[in-house]
Structure 1
């Protein structure tokens, strides 16, 4: 069984089978096509076309007397060569804008609210599982640092990073410091490091603070801790998930073993984040901004638990920072709608979180 290029009639029938299966979740037969689509073809001719598609590996017959369903290869051909993507309808655009626009950009730390809201509305509109991965921070611009003494042995360090991002770390102290000492060190750090990327700070902090006139013990503690203070957050901490209730309600996941595998995958936040982060450009669906939307289908996904899923993802940008959003759904998803939604969401997120720059 080998794939081949399809003629116009075969492409038309394959498109109808996929579009019908998306809606009904039921195998599609030749009689159904003949009765519901004005192709000018007899039932027998459609049946012959379906036999050719099956021989070529684009559709399969789950039961002897049943109609046909698309294979991974059929979905791939459809996504690459058949589907067309229009712009999102105005009502859904307004819903996205209202949800991610409700948070003021003046408040540091509001990025978490925006990203969680984005995940929720993305799941609700797509009726699938949605994932938002906050940006990697190595190229983010450091703005300022604050230190708050929690006790004689603990201190909270708060980093304000480009746009709305804040990173908070609690450090254990092996020295006693006064509030004035802390303020002096904070002033020097902010004066010498503001405007650098976190990656630049990790590489050069010792040299940049070498001759500063402040408390040496606290300064050295900050330098020794730079790998933690100015590093990336763990990938699972950057993950926002919503829409589990929608995906488990799909017919594909009604069987207990399948829904169990799905929930196990969703609970493994590290693997979920890696799935969306590593979802590569397996298909070129170009956004107006020129950025690819990636669609991986079935066994193209790297995790066994995702072999029954399609993942649609795309990056969004905030200055030099890059995050990612994704939709996880059954292979029988509405691909055109998923691409429209994720395209608009990515552009909206980029615009919203870049407003503070």
Structure 2
């Protein structure tokens, strides 16, 4: 096998060479490259198996590329020598790989890749802080994880929000996304497509779109010109912007006033969802219950709920709110809506 030469080395080496530039200046672009690469692998039914900072290489154009496929395996392959070996980067490995459940074989999966991807998000933002650094050795780490069945305490690879070397905290939404990867139950972790949507949108719109401004830019200057978070806008704010292309829709229920949407509005297709009369009432009850399992400022209620055959169209004031809802729902689904899915759709 012949691979292109990567002159800039690993992502971690690249970040050190950029010092004193804080990672906030380019971390989202690197993470966008990483998640796109992993999305491709998963789309062709391949798991990487050993995703970590040192296995991400930089090409001559400064783009991050996934490397070191020595532990990669096909997702649907029941028996694989590579998949069964327990070698790998211990601190980036999901709990089910370090301590496989009884009577279940050791097997790398898409979900174990997602755990590692959450670690990489924190590792890149912090410019090299390894997962579980509060445990002195790998042996101590495994012992701590083994106590989960008795204590039900989930040890997190990053207990606190990472900061880069310039003191910039990881944006709130990226931090919540990384934390959702650290669910001990593999099925509760987000998919790579969901992560690619959110990280890709943030990378394309700047740090402000993720809810936290950095305290310093790459050259030490203020970055208060970052984009305003869409969660800070209200319907009234939108109505005060006559020059912004928009469309109008009439909300159902008690509020009959027209709602104005930005051209950057977001839509989630939610379903299948049985509706007898009006969709607002059952969805409102569902939304309130979902809001109880996440931090209060994570979710924003849609401005409009419309019936679309056996699905609902949820109209949000911005794409970020739509992505947040879709990701949160897919991670925290509950009875009797376990078959209901949420997917962000492109605006017409």
**TM-score class normalised by the smaller sequence:** under 0.3
TM-score (norm 2): 0.24
Structure with the bigger RCO (C-alpha within 8 Å, sep 6+) is 1
Structure (1 or 2) with the larger CA radius of gyration: 1
TM-score (norm 1): 0.23
Greater strand share, 1 or 2?
1
Greater helix share, 1 or 2?
1
